[in-house]
Chains A and B, each alone.
Chain A
Amino acid sequence: MSNRIVFEDVSKFYGEILGVNRVNLSIPPGITSLVGPNGSGKTTLMNLMTGLVKPSRGRIEVLGYPTDDAENLFKFVGYSTQFDAFPKGLTGFQFIYSYLCLSGMPLQHAERTAWQAIERVNMVDAASRKVAAYSKGMRQRIRLAQALAHNPRVLVLDEPLNGLDPLARSEMIALFRASAAEGSYVIISSHILHEVDVISDQVILLSNGYVVAEGQIQSVRNEIQEHPTQILIRCDRPRELAAKLFESEYTIEASIHNDGRGLLLKTRDADRFYLALNQFALNGIQIESIAPADDDVLSVYEYLIGNEEVVR
């Protein structure tokens, strides 16, 4: 059995409208974020992964199972969708309980498991109320509880932090991290790049239905050759350091930081630049810290996609 989520040359068209095109992916365990502007194909990719829509072309397998085998697929896949509609008349508890009963779980076991899932998203107090009376954040949490209820190995979450307050956001992020740490596959789509940056092990950048880049953020950043790497150096004598650095062929731009205690440099060869930097440090300049300034999701996103519809 494969231990990856695999897309092979997958395309999806809605009539003449492109959903995603020629997607090839192999998603490993950990937290993978799908990042892209509205209409870039994030939800389509998630719907394809869970069999809610079928590919117009190509093949998808989730841990070795085809996505049209719902009976087996959803034993280890949980999907929290963006669809904000629920079966009519159900309470939060009934929503989770019914879902577990549908999977064939014995009633008592389903009841116990439903309460556990509700506890995980802190919804015990509201569980006996009708879902229709829930706030947006509560509906989001009960959807998460449904996705988590059967402890799936693959958790697909479409904008899972939408509508949540800061406390709930951090609780949910902790939950995703815990799942990933246990070896689960957590696939998240999000507009909120600083959160993506904090939680993701790898990202998949989408634009207009195409996968623009995929992998760990740093490796993605390293592959973007047309934008020089930016490095922030904190030191006691930034002007002196800047002058010396310009002697090196790897430095192409340097600017003094606003507080006067640092330098922002641009280089086309970061590895060699770091080696050269060691020489200057040995020459008596006190260097407090060296950190890449643009190997985060936000920078990668801006370089590859531009800065449309993005929440920093």
Chain B
Amino acid sequence: MTRLWWTQVKAVIRLELKKTFFAKRGLWIYVVAALPVLLFIAYAVAMSSEQHQTAKIARDGEKRLAYQDLVAIKSGMTKEEVTAILGKPPLSFHWNERRPIGPDSTVEILHEDLHYSDGENDLYLGLANGKVQSINIHASYNLGDDAVMFAGVFQFFFLRLAIFFGCLGIFMNLFRGEVLDRSLHFYFLAPIRREVLMAGKFLAGLLATCTIFITSELLQTAAFLWHFNPQTRDLYLYHNHGLEHAAVYVGVTFLACIGYGAFFLVAGMLFRNPIIPAAAVLIWEGINPFLPALLKQFSVIYYLKSLCPVEIPVSPGTPGLFALLISNADPVSPPFAILGILVVALLALFVSSVQVRRMEINYTTE
């Protein structure tokens, strides 16, 4: 019997995959999945351009500088002392400021901005009347900041919006779309248990969403790594948990597809208008940080956030509500988080299986 069911599940998957991947009404899902990839490509292009600029400044400098040279500059040094260490600046700007010091008198201050580079780090010096006032060293590669940025895009766009709406588009249409197309009876007239049909459709949806969003996730990682030089890339991947993070992000994407997929599968059977459940779930997931501990557990994002490998730091001064939204106040352990998502998904699938048995073909009321 199990073998027959598996054969039938495969038949359902074959039929559904064609429809899911090539449906015109699902094209927007590809766009949503591609958006973060495009964002990281744009970021990589911008960073590459910045690196070229840094390299050019390093080449144009009077001296070939090392990082130690850049950090040797201290506040209060004169311009002559700076040029003695770093040489003539390859890039500089200056301007005069008239600063009032009394009712009828002003003092003139000469400002100079000097820009040096060792090829990988930029040194920005702000001088006032020939003395160093501000020092700013900017590294071309800041793995920590970049990893946080990636985590931010993943958590706040990819997970909460792209995967969320992608799953909505695919899973809600598994049954609802067929009712609207008036073709669901094709399945209901076959000698197949409704639960097996539901399982087949769910797996087809899962396969489609995982293919689309895991591909997107991998492309995002590739685009994110693009602007690093090979040494930095190796450092990030093999010594800075980069590879591990990438694998965890793929896993979280997979679990998100399971969780949201099961949620929207049942929603597609219970509601005629997808906007209502979508809005309800979006609000529920959004207010999750503010919910009591017990209610938090009936949410997908609660578990997914706990699995994300990089925590987004809350800057000092961030308003309380935003801080709560960003931070993960009471994370759960990874095994518990995985189990939690699977339990939530199984609950939703159980409701779906009850609902699919009750379904009738009555297109005229749709």
On whether the two chains bind one another, the answer is yes
How far does the Cβ of A291 sit from chain B's closest Cβ, in whole Å?
A: 42
**Contact A101 to B360, CB < 8 A, known contacts A73-B191, A88-B19:** no
A 66-99 binary contact with B (CB < 8 Å = 1; else 0) = 0010111111000101010111110000000011
CB pair A102 B188 closer than 8 Å: no
CB pair B186 A71 closer than 8 Å: no
Residues 14-32 of B at the A interface (beta carbon under 8 Å): 14-15, 18-19, 22-23
Q: Which A residues are in CB contact (< 8 Å) with B182?
A: 83, 85
**Contact A72 to B189, CB < 8 A, known contacts A85-B183, A87-B19:** no
A 26-62 binary contact with B (CB < 8 Å = 1; else 0) = 0000000000000000000001001111100000000
Give the nearest-CB partner of B190 in chain A: A102
Residue of B19, B190, B358, B360 most packed against chain A (CB within 10 A): B190
Contact pick for A104, options B4, B178, B185, CB 8 Å:
B4
Residues 263-311 of B at the A interface (beta carbon under 8 Å): none
Contact pick for B360, options A53, A89, A98, A146, CB 8 Å:
A53
How far does the Cβ of A102 sit from chain B's closest Cβ, in whole Å?
A: 4
Contact pick for A70, options B4, B15, B181, B192, CB 8 Å:
B192
On chain B, the number of residues with a Cβ less than 8 Å from chain A's Cβ atoms is 34
Residues 97-152 of A at the B interface (beta carbon under 8 Å): 98-99, 101-104, 106, 146, 150
On chain A, the number of residues with a Cβ less than 8 Å from chain B's Cβ atoms is 31
Residue of A71, A81, A103, A146 most packed against chain B (CB within 10 A): A71
The stretch that binds A, out of B5-13, B134-142, B327-335, is: B5-13
CB pair B22 A89 closer than 8 Å: yes
Residues 2-23 of A at the B interface (beta carbon under 8 Å): 14
Q: Which A residues are in CB contact (< 8 Å) with B183?
A: 83, 85-88
How far does the Cβ of A141 sit from chain B's closest Cβ, in whole Å?
A: 16
How far does the Cβ of A191 sit from chain B's closest Cβ, in whole Å?
A: 19
Q: How many A-B residue pairs have CB under 8 A?
A: 90
CB pair B365 A14 closer than 8 Å: yes
CB pair B363 A83 closer than 8 Å: yes
Q: Does B187 contact A (CB under 8 A)?
A: yes
CB pair B361 A53 closer than 8 Å: yes
Q: Which A residues are in CB contact (< 8 Å) with B56?
A: none
Contact pick for B192, options A53, A71, A150, CB 8 Å:
A71
Q: Which A residues are in CB contact (< 8 Å) with B365?
A: 14
Q: Does B64 contact A (CB under 8 A)?
A: no
B 112-155 binary contact with A (CB < 8 Å = 1; else 0) = 00000000000000000000000000000000000000000000
CB pair A101 B357 closer than 8 Å: no
CB pair B191 A75 closer than 8 Å: yes
CB pair A79 B192 closer than 8 Å: no
A103→B11 CA distance, assembly (Å): 9
The 10 closest A-B pairs by CB, nearest first: A74-B191, A85-B182, A101-B11, A102-B190, A52-B361, A104-B4, A53-B360, A104-B7, A103-B191, A85-B183
